[in-house]
Amino acid sequence: MQVNETGAFVPTVVAFCCNWCSYAGADLSGTNRLQYPSNIKIIRVPCSCRVNPMFILRAFQRGADGVILCGCHPGDCHYTTGNYYTRRRMTLLFSMLDYLGIERERTRVEWVSAAEGQKFAETMKSFAAEIAALGPNRRLEDLRCRK
């Protein structure tokens, strides 16, 4: 668990972004110098549908406090249909995590287009704030991975 100089909890957040829309949207928020917290780290995937539930569980295992998955808006997928599968898979996965009592706020899917730099930054800010408010992930971490 990270804390900042004032002792406040700084969550670790992993953002999976599809190469064509959301990663480009993240780049755009950079180009526009829109700030969002540095504890969010982006992993580039070709399409949101590349994200295996395993990756999300792995992130929690290794100490992530929140995982967000961003893709093209439904209907705009570079690969035509990828994000439709993502939508179903993640809906079911999130529901299952909730069912197991894992805080449902720790996972999120957002559709961010390459033009939505502003939305990307806003989304990241709000997600990071939400996770910070929840506190550290304790329910789905691997104690052996704790620093």
Partner 1 sequence: MQKLGVFVCHCGTNIAATVDVKAVAEALGREPSVVVSTDYPYMCSESGQNLIKDAIREHSLDGVVICSCSPRMHENTFRKAAAQAGLNPYMVEIANIREQCSWIHKDREEATEKAIVLGRAAIAKVLLNTPLTAGESPVTKRALVIGGGIAGIQTALDIAEAGFPVDIVEKEPTIGGKMAQLDKTFPTLDCAACILTPKMVDCAQNENIRILSFSEVEEVTGFVGNFTAKIRRKARYVDETKCTGCGLCTEKCPVKKVPNEFNLGMDNRRAVYIPFAQAVPKVARIDPDWCNMLKNGKCGLCSKVCTVGAIDYKQTDTVLEEHYGAIVAATGYEPIKVDRYGEYAYAQSKDVITSLEFERLTNAAGPTSGTLLRPSDGRHPHTIVFIQCVGSRCTPEMGKTYCSKICCMYTAKHAMLTREKYPDTDVYVFYIDVRTPGKNFDEFYRRAAEEYGVHYIKGAVGKVMPRADGTLDVQASDLIMNEQLHINADLVVLAAAIEPSKTARRLATMLTASMDTNDFFTEAHPKLRPVESPTAGIFLSGVCQGPKDIPETVSQASACAAKVIGLLSKNKLTGNPCVAHSDEWMCNGCSNCASVCPYGAITYLDKDFRMPDRSTKTRRVASVNPAVCQGCGACTVACPSGAMDLYGFSNSQIMAEVDAICK
Partner 2 sequence: MQEMMKKRAMELLADGTVTRVIGWRRGEFSYDISPAVFEDAAQIERDFVWDAFCGANVSKYLIRESAKGRVLAFLKPCDAFSMNQLLAEHRVKRENVYLIGIPCAGKADIDRIKARGIDGVTGIEEDGEAFVVHTIYGDERVGRADVLAERCLVCKSKRHPVYDELLGEEGEDLPDDARFAGVEKLEAMTAEERFAFWRGELSKCIRCNACRNVCPACTCENCVFDNPDSGISQKAAADPFEENMYHIIRAFHVAGRCTDCGECSRVCPEHIPLHLLNRKFIKDIDELYGTYRAGEDDETKNPLTSFTEGDAEPAVVRKRGRA
φ, ψ of residue 88 to 5 degrees: the values are -65, -45
Side chain identity at residue 116, one-letter code: E
22 interacts with, out of partner 2, partner 1, none, CB within 5 to 8 A per kind = none
- Enter the tokens of residue 113: 């287009």
In angstroms, what is the minimal distance from the CB of 126 to partner 1?
Answer: 15
Judged by CB under 8 A, which of 20, 103, 112, 136 binds partner 2? 103
Euclidean distance between CA atoms 132 and 117, whole angstroms: 22
- Enter the tokens of residue 122: 């806003």
43 binds partner 2 (CB under 8 A): no
In angstroms, what is the minimal distance from the CB of 92 to partner 2?
Answer: 6
Nearer to partner 1, 34 or 134 (CB): 34
19 binds partner 1 (CB under 8 A): yes
For 12-145, where are the alpha helices, taking DSSP H only?
A: 22-31, 53-61, 82-99, 117-134
135 interacts with, out of partner 1, partner 2, none, CB within 5 to 8 A per kind = none
24 binds partner 1 (CB under 8 A): yes
Helices then strands, each counted (H, E), the chain: 4, 6
Q: Is 57 exposed, middle or buried (0-12, 13-18, 19+ CB in 10 A)?
A: middle
SS3 16: strand
User: Looking only at residues 84 through 123 of this chain, which bind partner 1 when binding is defined by CB under 8 A?
Assistant: 85, 89, 121
| Window of 12-20, 98-106, 128-136 that interacts with partner 1 by CB under 8 A | 12-20
User: Which positions lie near partner 1, rule CB under 8 A?
Assistant: 12, 14, 19, 23-24, 26-31, 33-36, 38, 41-47, 49-55, 58-59, 62-64, 75, 78-82, 85, 89, 121, 145, 147
